[in-house]
Amino acid sequence: MADDDLDIDIDGIARRMDGAMAALKNEFLSLRTGRASASMLEPVQVDAYGAMTPINQLGTVNVPEPRMITLNIWDKSLVSRVEKALRDSGLGINPVVDGTIIRLPIPELNEERRRELTRVAAQYAESARVAIRNVRRDGMDMVKKAKAAGMGEDDQKLWSDEIQALTDKHIAAVDRALDAKQAEIMQV
């Protein structure tokens, strides 16, 4: 039954799993590894103009040195709000305000903080695995519905195996990304 095979959107399933991987990589960018990176500030939101606004939309973010980030805030009235958001962000960075420029010195990570960051990375990876498994479950539900609509046993097995292979591939990619990030964090 070719019509029923169309109900299984394997490309959509793969796209959703790729989205979980992209979200994981974005979360990994926010973890600091002792080196300055503008992407560290991406998750920081500031209450500006009545809405939560990403910090990079309120000023220019620069990395002039390996251990320093500077923010040149465009609206002087927002400097204190940006400073407060940075302090409350949990990044462990102490902002230094100089007019409309905020300097963020990146401290050297100690062993305890490195271990803590590896645990956070592991939590991010587990969230990505759960998201991928949820997509797998949705795909398997599509196969069950197609079977109820008349899909043959062979086709059901073929689709189930394909969805499982896609899941295994994405879970392995999450594990590789986690190993690489943990190695980067633990590197002195």
Q: What is the mean pLDDT of residues 22-32?
A: 80
Query: Domain check: are 8 and 74 in the same one?
Result: no
Distance CA 109, CA 129 (A): 28
Query: Domain check: are 171 and 114 in the same one?
Result: yes
Q: Which domain holds residue 144?
A: 2-28+110-186
In the chain the beta strands, taken as DSSP E runs, fall at 45-48, 51-54, 59-65, 68-73, 96-98, 101-105
**What percentage of the chain carries pLDDT values higher than 70?**
93
Query: What pLDDT is attached to residue 2?
Result: 45
Say whether pLDDT at 1 is over 60.
no
Q: Lowest mean pLDDT: which of 17-21, 32-36, 164-168?
A: 32-36
Among 105, 138, 159, identify where a domain stops. 105
Say whether pLDDT at 80 is over 90.
no
157 within 8 A of 140, measured Cβ to Cβ: no
Q: For the segment 93-141, what is each residue's pLDDT rounded down to a tens digit? A: 788 888 888 888 877 777 887 888 888 889 999 999 999 999 999 999 9
CATH no. for residue 171? 1.10.132.20
Query: Domain check: are 114 and 181 in the same one?
Result: yes
0.85 surpassed by pTM: no
Contacts 24+ apart (CB under 8 A), 44-53: 44/85, 44/86, 44/89, 44/91, 45/85, 46/78, 46/81, 46/82, 46/85, 47/81, 47/85, 48/75, 48/78, 48/81
Query: What pLDDT is attached to residue 178?
Result: 93
